[in-house]
Amino acid sequence: MLFNKASEKIDSGTLNASDFHYIMQGHRNKKSKDFYLKLKKAMIEQKDLLNPKSAGKEAIWANNLVNLFFSFASNRPTKFGVYS
């Protein structure tokens, strides 16, 4: 049920950074490469929605971008954390 809800959220095109982190964290043990690739595609296609850039907040933008990539890399299907 949660997998379907997460999949619908990704397909809707309204994924924000918090949603992305929660989905990556919640489904890291699924070992579903298809789901991971779907999130990768969403991250590329919805980059402006996931990490909106605004003037005067470049440091926050950069930090959020690093967090997105860290979450994506550390929660991939074959990895369960940074040191695994």
* pLDDT tens column, 62-73: 888 888 888 888
Q: In the chain, which stretches have pLDDT less than 50?
A: 80-81, 83-84
Q: Which residues contact 6 (CB under 8 A, 6 or more apart)?
A: 23, 26, 27
pLDDT of residue 68: 84
Q: Structure tokens of 80? A: 């369960």
pLDDT of residue 78: 63
Helix axes 17-26, 33-45, angle to 10 degrees: 170
Return the pLDDT at 55. 80
pLDDT value of position 79:
53
